Amino acid sequence: MQSDMLFYRKFLILITMLVLFLSASAQNHTISGTIRAKTSGETLISATVYDVLSGKGALTNAQGRYSLTIPEGQVILRVSYVGYATYYDTFQLDANKEVNVSLESSSQLKTVTISADRISSHKSSQMSAIDIPVENIKSVPVLFGETDVLKALQLLPGVQSGTEGMSGIYVRGGGPDQNLFLLDGVPLYNVNHLGGFFSAFNADAIKNVTLYKGSFPAHFGGRLSSVLDITTNDGNDKKLHGNASIGVIAAKVNLEGPLWKDKTTFNVSYRRTYFDLLMQPMIMAMGAAVSEGEGRTNFGYYFYDLNAKVTHRFSNRSRLIGSWYSGDDRIYAKVKFNGYGQWDESMKLGYNWGNLVGSLRWNYELTPKIFMNVTGAFTRYRNDINMTIEENYFGDGTSSFYSAEMFYKSGIRDITAKVDFDYQPNPDHTVKFGAAMVHHIFQPDVTGNKMEEDDGTNHVVFDTVLGQSIVHANEMTMFIEDDWTISDAFKINAGVNVTGFAVQSKFYPSLQPRLSGRWMLSEDLSFKAGYSFMTQYMHQLSNSSISLPTDLWVPVTARIEPMYAHQVAAGVFYNWSGIAELSAEGYYKRMNNMIEYKDGASFFGSSEGWEDKVCMGDGWSYGLELLAQRTVGDITGWIGYTWSRTMRQFDREGQTINEGKPFPAKYDRRHDLSIMVSYKPNKEFDCSAAWVFSSGNVATLAMQEFVDNEGVGVVSYVENRNNFRMPPYHRLDVGVNFHKQKKHGVRTWSLSVYNLYNRKNPFMVYKSYGHHYYYNGQHYPSALMKVSLFPIIPSVSYSFKF
């Protein structure tokens, strides 16, 4: 413990020295302010603020604030943001000055795809990161026409989907639990609905999405493979706006506007599937028919998402933001039966799983150069099942009673306190530093049973609760990073993230250096390289390709150590005349202390003895990612291609898998290609198409069988884990939107077709005894069956925006 204290003391001294050094170099005046959209008052993230004369510039932060310190004298300030008219202002700078700008939406510019103009992405020191404007996410044709952030991300190089139709993402060889999903800075643990077919992010509530695949800035940590940073809309501060839509699966409504003009805004979005509501009359009628009018039946499934955000601006320097998200999947059933006056019985089932996130954030500008952000947050994932059964008999003069109640609970809760600062001492440095404390409460699984029976003579009561005790853990984080422009050609982002995790009387410290740099080879061509070290203190127990609500989050323990990963990446980035961006990135990632299930082990939602069911081992992944994207014009889109290889090796004593030999990871795919094209000739019509192709998933199949006639029988022989590769995956999705200006707003009809040419992509394979297989004249009494999930699926939706 003493060495831990020494470790943190050294780190604090380092931070203090760095801040003093940077402050000493700042002697000029500072221009600061907020950049907003004029029509909505929404703050703009990563807008460019640039002084043409000095050649110095800055980007707005997540709250739309910027700070630019430049020499005294004449200033020609240029503010630009994708999709908005560029703003110019000329003034004499002789003292610190606040310049707040509201940019007008530009009708001249066409829709721009991934990555914005900003300080064009090839000039940024950040690599392995992609910003996606939400409008682009909405233009990607998807399953059942339901806009999905994660499925749009799956079309990008370095990001792979799991199995057919699933929202899970696998980034650069990492597992699905190695992605950090941040909703307004607060982690979300289960990001899926309906077993992973839909993600929990309602695009109507989202302002900005940024995915980091590597070269992570030091202010992020906690997961090995990616960070998905999602910012929700603050709400229009001028007038009430909204939009409502109804599709094949879900209906959505979004409302935003001022509560107190120019001071307080709100934004509320709600999405719900409605299939269960439509089915209710039919279910009830069927129930009544089956029970001959003596009973009632009601059951169904739905999911919903509720996003709400209230922003109050005390002044241009001070804002308070409260945000809320709750999203649940629910299965419900109620059955009641009256037994012709002799008895009655009822059954009630409720199965709920989902997230709840609440946060309160205060943004305050301490000085024009220092911006503070204080956050208190609560996040919870729960998986609850409740079932009650009641039976009453009262027919023959006697009465008896029976009731049973069962519950199952599991989940995780986090309470977070965080403070972070943006400090821009001069235009060459943008420093971020801060600290956070997270208290995790893990409730792996608890089952309760209560039974009561009375037959008139005996009264029996049974009440028990079984399961694992709650585990408390504390995670502490400190970070500092500096985005440093060394010269016009060289720029680096250097930082360190220091964490500690205390659980079960064990403390795991970790110092994670991060470094990325950019070298401008010419005005349009840059070379970037980066290194990051990441540590992860929790695992998700799941061993199916479907995201199940029973997948449990568990902390590292005294036996199971934290996962960590080293990743290096390098690439070239080219801006082609401002209309297209080309990039080629290579990466190598080494992951340690990964867990994988022992042969034959599975969980079914029980975490009992989970440490004995897993092996610890290592993994590595390397690959090349190519991206070409056209960003302006009627036709926009991108072509992304990834060549990669992802391996695992579990060769530790007593924890071997595949006899300790390396084997391909479950989602190891050599080739992954996606082509996304969007065409928008006018305001009334737009269309898009996306084609994806990837190498098939791997699976473990016992290709040979032998007979052990000494008491065992037929034995299936597996030569290697993941030894069978399924056929390649490919499909084409298309979508068209018809917009029309109406008296009170714009209505849009959207038609889309998923898997247009009806490719039967393999979801899983299994051996079937009921089918025959013929190959080259040879007959086999069994066959290997391929199960596909989604054939061609058309969908339609209607929306109205006012």
Partner 1 sequence: MRILKYILFSLLGVIFCSCQEVLDFDPGEINPYPVLISKPDSGDSVVCVYISRSRFFLDEDNYPSAIGDASVTLDVNGNTYVGVFDNNPASQNYNKYVFSVVPQPGDSMRVSAVVPGFDHTVSAATKMPVMPQVEVTDFVIDTNDCYFREWDSTWVRENYYYRIKFRIRSTLPKQFFSVMASMSNVLDENDTANFSWDTNEASFTYIFFECNDPVVNTSDIENLIDGEASSSFYGDNMAFSNEMFQSGEHEFTIEFSQWAGDSYGYNKLDYSKIPVRLFVRSLSRDLYLYTMTTQRQSEADIFFSEPVQVHCNIDGGIGIFGASSLRKLSLPAPRFEHFNHNNSDNYYYKKKKK
Which residues sit at the interface with partner 1, rule CB under 8 A?
Answer: 543-544, 597-604, 606, 608-609, 612-613, 654, 657-659, 700-712, 715-718, 721, 726-727, 758, 760, 762, 765-767, 769, 771, 773, 775-776, 778, 780-789, 791-794
Nearer to partner 1, 395 or 791 (CB): 791
Q: Dmax over Cα atoms in the chain, in whole Å?
A: 101
Q: For residue 105, give the DSSP letter.
A: B
Q: Which tokens is 587 given?
A: 């990466």
Nearer to partner 1 by Cβ, of 349 and 785: the residue is 785
**691, 730 Cβ separation under 8 angstroms:** yes
Closest CB to partner 1 among residues 469, 682: 469
Helix locations, 303-367, DSSP H: none
Q: Side chain identity at 704, as an amino acid letter?
A: Q
- Specify the residue, 5 or 707, whose C-beta has the smaller distance to partner 1: 707
Pick between residue 4 and residue 659 the one whose CB is nearest to partner 1. Answer: 659
SS (H, E, C) 597-608: ECCCCCCCCCCC
- Minimum CB separation of residue 7 from partner 1 in Å reads 34
Contact 112, 631 (CB under 8 A): yes
**Percentages (nearest 5) of helix, strand, coil residues in the chain:** 10, 60, 30
Residue 505 main-chain phi, psi, to 5 deg: 60, 20
C-alpha distance from residue 607 to each of 118, 265, 504, 505 (Å)? 47, 44, 17, 20
**Local structure of 362: helix, strand or coil:** strand
CB atoms within 10 A of CB 22: 19
Residues in the chain: 802
Q: How far apart are CA 541 and CA 595, in angstroms?
A: 9
Residue closer to partner 1 (CB basis): 21 or 757: 757
| Strand partners for 63 | none
Q: Which one, 632 or 765, has the nearer CB to partner 1?
A: 765
Q: Which is nearer to partner 1, 353 or 663 (CB)?
A: 663
Query: CB 652 → partner 1: shortest distance, Å?
Result: 14
Q: How far is it, in rounded angstroms, from Cα 138 to Cα 686?
A: 12
Least CB distance to partner 1 at residue 600 (A): 4
Residue 606 CB, shortest distance to partner 1, in Å, is 5
The tokens describing 524, both together, are 């349009």
* DSSP annotation string for 700-728: ----EEEEETTTTEEEEE-SSTT-EEPPP
Pull the structure tokens for residue 642.
């990834």
* Cα separations in angstroms, 65 against 91, 121, 324, 367, 429: 20, 20, 23, 12, 16
CB of 645 to partner 1, least distance (A): 20
Residue 494 or 765: the one with the smaller Cβ distance to partner 1 is: 765
Least distance between partner 1 and beta carbon 678 (Å) = 25
Going by C-alpha positions, the residue among 119, 198, 189, 251 that lies closest to residue 440 is 189
Judged by beta carbon, residue 52 or residue 785, the one nearer partner 1 is 785
Tell the smallest beta-carbon distance from residue 794 to partner 1 (Å).
7
Q: Return the number of other C-beta atoms located less than 10 Å from residue 379's C-beta.
A: 22
Could you tell me the smallest distance in angstroms from the CB atom of residue 674 to partner 1? 24
Question: How many of the other CB atoms lie within 10 Å of CB of 192?
Answer: 25
| Shortest Cβ 468–partner 1 spacing (Å) | 10
Nearest CA to 65 out of 317, 405, 267 is that of 317
Is residue 552 within 8 A of residue 468, CB to CB? The reply is no
The phi, psi pair for 144, rounded to 5°, reads 55, 20
Between residues 362 and 597, which has the closer beta carbon with respect to partner 1? Answer: 597
Nearest-angstrom CA–CA distance, 782 and 767: 7
**Least distance from C-beta 666 to partner 1, angstroms?**
9
| Closest CB 707 distance from partner 1, rounded Å | 5
Least separation in angstroms between CB 790 and partner 1:
8
Residue 450's DSSP bridge partners are: 405, 463
Rounded Cα–Cα distance for residues 755 and 734 (Å) = 8
Residue with smaller CB distance to partner 1, 129 or 615? 615
Best CA proximity match to 733, nearest among 696, 695, 759, 694: 759
- Can you tell me whether residue 152 is helix, strand or coil? helix
Nearer to partner 1, 12 or 460 (CB): 460
CA atoms of 108 and 106, how far apart (whole Å): 5
Contacts of 529 (CB under 8 A, 6+ apart): 127, 516, 517, 568, 569, 570, 571
What dihedral angle (degrees, nearest 10) is formed by the CA atoms of 369, 12, 378, 364? -20
In Å, what is the CA distance from 122 to each residue of 286, 366, 574, 584? 62, 32, 6, 11
Sequence-separated (6 or more) residues with CB below 8 Å from residue 351: 330, 331, 332, 384, 385, 386, 549
Shortest spacing between CB 316 and partner 1, in angstroms:
55
State the minimum distance, in angstroms, from the CB of residue 766 to partner 1: 8
Q: Which CB, 372 or 734, lies closer to partner 1?
A: 734
Least separation in angstroms between CB 618 and partner 1: 18
Nearer to partner 1, 55 or 660 (CB): 660
d(Cα 448, Cα 463) in Å, to the nearest integer?
8
Residue 443 C-beta: closest distance to partner 1, Å: 16
Q: Looking at beta carbons only, is 450 or 598 nearer to partner 1?
A: 598
Q: Which is nearer to partner 1, 165 or 623 (CB)?
A: 165
How would you class 265 by CB atoms within 10 Å of its CB: exposed for 0-12, middle for 13-18, buried for 19 or more? buried
Closer residue to partner 1, CB minimum distance, 212 or 663: 663
Least distance (Å) between residue 354 CB and partner 1: 22
**Smallest gap, in angstroms, from Cβ of residue 664 to partner 1?**
13
